[in-house]
Amino acid sequence: MSVQQISVFLENKPGTLKKMTGVLAAHSIDMRATSLAETKDFGIARLIVDDALSAVNTLKENNFIASLTPVLAIEIPDEAGGLDKLLVVFDEAAVNIEYMYAFSGGKDANHAYMIFRVADTKAAEAKLTSKGVKILSQEDIANI
């Protein structure tokens, strides 16, 4: 039930990010979350979108290097300590987080959403759901 994250390699120069977002906008692809990491010469944009397969194909058709990676998307209460409570469960389940980022908004202003990259998505999902954590699906993301 993981969601698909798109990783896009971008040359680190003015206008490159705008070109990518322009392609997505022109094809009515709605970004839900974005994380951008950079080095001197290039960056990696990590995206959660409403339709990951369409988005990655569109990006490739427009000469972007893009790939899909399974990640866990989890809704948390938008309150002080919300993330900490979830990380207690990760700790108890012995799930290591490689990286994470967040987004808020959507139809329910009482929640935020966390994206987690872990080494073994399926194993982590099984461990976390057994402890009562609800993992969002790609369909859930599309409806936020």
Over residues 90-136, the pLDDT tens digits come to 999 999 999 999 887 666 677 889 999 999 999 999 999 999 999 99
Q: Which of 59, 71, 136, 126 is nearest to 101 (CA)?
A: 71
Q: Which of 98, 48, 108 is nearest to 77 (CA)?
A: 108
Where is 65: in which H helix or E strand? strand 65-77
Q: Evaluate if residue 2 carries a pLDDT over 90.
A: no
DSSP 107: S
Q: What are the backbone angles phi and psi of residue 45, rounded to the nearest 5°?
A: -95, 125
CATH code given to domain 3-70: 3.30.2130.10
Q: Which of 105, 93, 98, 92 is nearest to 143 (CA)?
A: 105
Domain ranges of the chain: 3-70, 72-142
Can you give the pLDDT at residue 107?
67
**Gap between the Cα atoms of 127 and 76, Å rounded:** 17
3-70 shares its CATH topology with 72-142:
yes
Report if pTM > 0.75: yes
Tens-digit pLDDT profile for residues 14-31: 999 999 999 999 999 999
* CATH architecture classification, 72-142: 2-Layer Sandwich (3.30)
Tens-digit pLDDT profile for residues 44-86: 999 999 999 999 999 999 999 999 999 999 999 888 898 999 9
